């Protein structure tokens, strides 16, 4: 089920910001005073980013079709 476009854009921006920040911060887990925090790995963040990006593309394509603008995908033909 497609989500809200505004929500998808916010989450996608947050995921991309996290990915950019991973380059400068390579600590994957912390333990302070008996409490532990484990961050998502780069590969996990990439999976989530790709999932949200695909869902956003699906919504944008549906909007274009509803507006009568057609699709922006490639049509490949073999002769």
Let me know if residue 74 belongs to a domain: no
| Distances 40 to 15, 27, 58, 61 between C-alpha atoms, Å | 11, 10, 26, 30
Let me know if residue 33 belongs to a domain: yes
Q: What is the pLDDT of residue 32?
A: 85
Q: What is the pLDDT of residue 18?
A: 85
Q: Are 67 and 26 in contact (CB under 8 A)?
A: no
Q: What is the pLDDT of residue 1?
A: 43
The range of the structural domain enclosing residue 25 comes to 5-66
Q: What is the pLDDT of residue 24?
A: 61
Q: What angle (nearest 5°) sits at the alpha carbon of residue 12, between those of residues 18 and 64?
A: 160
Tell me how many domains the chain contains: 1
**Spans in the chain with pLDDT lower than 70:** 1-3, 23-28, 73
Q: What is the pLDDT of residue 27?
A: 65
d(CA 69, CA 74) in angstroms, rounded, equals: 15
């Amino acid at each position: 089920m497609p989500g809200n476009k505004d929500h998808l854009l916010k989450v996608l921006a947050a995921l991309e910001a996290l990915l950019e920040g991973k380059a400068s911060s390579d600590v994957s887990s912390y333990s302070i005073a008996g409490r532990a925090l484990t961050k998502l790995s780069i590969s996990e963040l990439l999976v989530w980013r790709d999932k949200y990006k695909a869902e956003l593309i699906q919504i944008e394509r549906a909007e274009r079709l509803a507006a009568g603008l057609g699709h922006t995908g490639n049509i490949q033909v073999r002769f």
